[in-house]
Amino acid sequence: MTELATAAQPTAIEETPSLATPSSIDKPSSVERKSAMRQAMLEGPIVPTLLKLALPTLTVLLAQTAVNIVEAFYVGFLGTQALAGIALVFPVFMLMMTMSGGGLGSGVASAVARAVGRGQKDDADALVLHAIVLAVVVGAVFTVGVIWAGPAMYHLLGGRSGALAAALTYSDNLFAASIAVWVVNLLAAAMRGSGNVKVPATVTLIGALVMIPASPALIFGFGPIPRMGIAGAGFAFAIYYGFAMLALLAYMATGRSGLKLKWAPLERRLFADILKVGLPTALNTIQTNLTVILLTGAAGLFGTSALAAYGIASRFDYVMTPILFGLSSAVLTMVGVNIGAGHVARARQITWVSTLVGVGITETIGLIVAIFPSLWLHLFSHDPSVVGPAATYLHVVAPAYGFLAVGFVISFAAQGASHVLWPFLGVTARMVVAAGLGWIAVKFFGVGMFGLAAIVAGSLAIYALICSVVMTSRTVWRR
């Protein structure tokens, strides 16, 4: 019966086929490609389908991460104060990126994927406009909020004198582009939810290739371009996202993405469909990044060198994010489409297989970095007062990346199934243990970087354990 029901459903995006021409007879049409991808998600081999969906996103996110790494590398030439300044801003920046890409972005992707699974084309298209409205509102809140609260926030995190001045200069230029960031990331999430991963990947990859030379040109000056210092790093980012936003809006308006941006009445039920997954998931990303922010503040109690050390060491934690996000966004889409089509057992099987893939990748990387931390740390600094505590952090935390993978992949699978309770509890427990106990341990008991890192590693294990409850929940895995 399931197979008959699936066959009776319309394809994810229906279009009126055009008359065949000699050049198109041997080429699959857009409708055929979308139908084939949907069938692969519903019936094809799991790992090849997962990789086909994940690799474009993963490649691009790694390119974005490379841009962040290269930017930090260039800023390192401006001195320890500048490096400490971007360490203060980085967790706030990642809060915006993870909220837009994996918070409300997950809500958009989940809603679109379930609409695709049900064959509801009009709803899938209308969700694009609803996503843009949310992007403009939340992006404006980020711009105003961070620029207004930045001085007090970065001072509270340990920023002083030169480090604080660098943080404010970088932050103001960076968050001026918040609306563009939110529009780009929510449109990309909508396309991922429909199974279109190549276009957002291509746009981001082109941007990364432009940013790598543009950032140093603006930081140090080049030809007619004046030297902007640390402000240039933030300004390059703002320029890229402005152009990326215009490119994606124009592309979505054509309908070639499989989703079409067009006017539709704003409906409460569609906002609710996005937000019932997006809001709890956004809270998860807030808690995750608040954990890093509080840990940054705890590291700041050790002094400027230790703050810079934590900044470059914990930045590698974020290298795991694009890897796991690329994989997990594909999991979300596959689970969401299968849940929408009523294939619950397959959705659960996809989650198990994907979790094992994620653990294998991240644990391998984590062990290499734990054994050879200088491969990462010497990209940013050779100062022993910075490299020493940073290496201590990676020795302890990097081997625990497998726990991060378990929690991350299962959380995205739960989002695809429209159930987010256990991932929320897992992230909450991680924040309480890492940030709460970590701050107390440093502030009142004087533990060093080793003790702080051990608490962080323990929080990842607790996060994985709680998220794993999803796999035994009858509430999640039901028709």
Residue in this structure with the two tokens 């152009």, named with its chain if needed: 243
**Contact between 206 and 144 (Cβ < 8 Å):** no
449 vs 454: CA distance, rounded Å: 9
Task: Write the DSSP string, 216-228.
Answer: HHHHH-BTTBPP-
Q: What is the radius of gyration, based on Cα positions, of the chain?
A: 22
CA distances from 333 to 79, 134, 338, 340, 385 (A): 43, 21, 9, 10, 45
Q: How far is it, in rounded angstroms, from Cα 234 to Cα 214? A: 11
Residue 176's CB: how many other CB atoms inside 10 A?
A: 18
* Under 8 Å between Cβ of 361 and 405: yes
pLDDT in tens, the chain (479 residues): 333 333 333 333 333 333 344 444 444 555 566 677 777 888 888 988 888 888 877 776 777 777 777 777 778 788 778 878 887 888 788 889 888 887 898 889 888 888 887 778 888 889 999 999 999 999 999 999 999 998 898 888 777 788 888 889 889 988 998 999 999 999 988 988 887 778 877 877 787 777 778 888 888 888 888 888 888 888 888 888 888 899 889 888 887 777 888 888 899 999 999 998 888 888 888 887 788 778 877 887 777 788 788 888 887 887 787 788 889 888 988 998 888 888 888 999 999 999 999 999 999 999 999 999 999 998 888 888 889 999 999 999 999 999 999 999 999 899 888 888 898 899 999 999 998 898 898 888 888 889 999 999 999 999 999 999 999 888 888 76
Q: What does the alpha-carbon distance between residue 373 and residue 390 come to, in Å, rounded to a whole number? A: 8
SS3 of residue 476 by DSSP: coil
| Cα–Cα distance measured from residue 48 to residue 174, given in angstroms and rounded to the nearest whole number | 38
Q: What is the pLDDT of residue 31?
A: 56
- Alpha carbon distance 478, 418 (integer Å): 11
239 in helix, strand or coil? helix
Which pLDDT value is given to residue 230? 84
62, 42 contact by CB (below 8 A): no
Packing angle of the helix pair 161-175, 80-98 (nearest 10 deg): 40
Rounded CA separation 306/384 (Å): 11
DSSP one-letter code for 103: I
Q: Between helices 268-300 and 304-340, what is the axis angle to 10°?
A: 160
Cβ atoms of residues 111 and 270 within 8 Å: yes
Report the distance separating Cα 291 and Cα 339, nearest Å: 32
Query: How much is the pLDDT for 400?
Result: 96
Q: Residue 361's CB: how many other CB atoms inside 10 A?
A: 18
Residue ranges in 230-382 assigned as alpha helix (H): 230-254, 268-300, 304-340, 344-371, 374-377
Of all helices (H) and strands (E), which one includes residue 110?
A: helix 104-118
Is residue 92 a contact partner of residue 316, using CB atoms and an 8 Å limit? no
Give me the amino acid identity at 315: R
Measured distance CA(224)–CA(227) in Å, rounded: 9
Structure confidence at residue 29 (pLDDT): 52
The helix/strand/coil state of 29 is coil
pTM over 0.75: no
For residue 116, the SS3 value is helix
Any idea where the domains of the chain sit in the sequence?
52-472
Which are the contacts of 444, defined by CB distance < 8 A and separation ≥ 6? none
Count Cβ atoms within 10 A of the Cβ of residue 99 and give its class: 0-12 exposed, 13-18 middle, 19 or more buried.
Answer: buried
Phi, psi of 95 (to 5 degrees): -60, -45
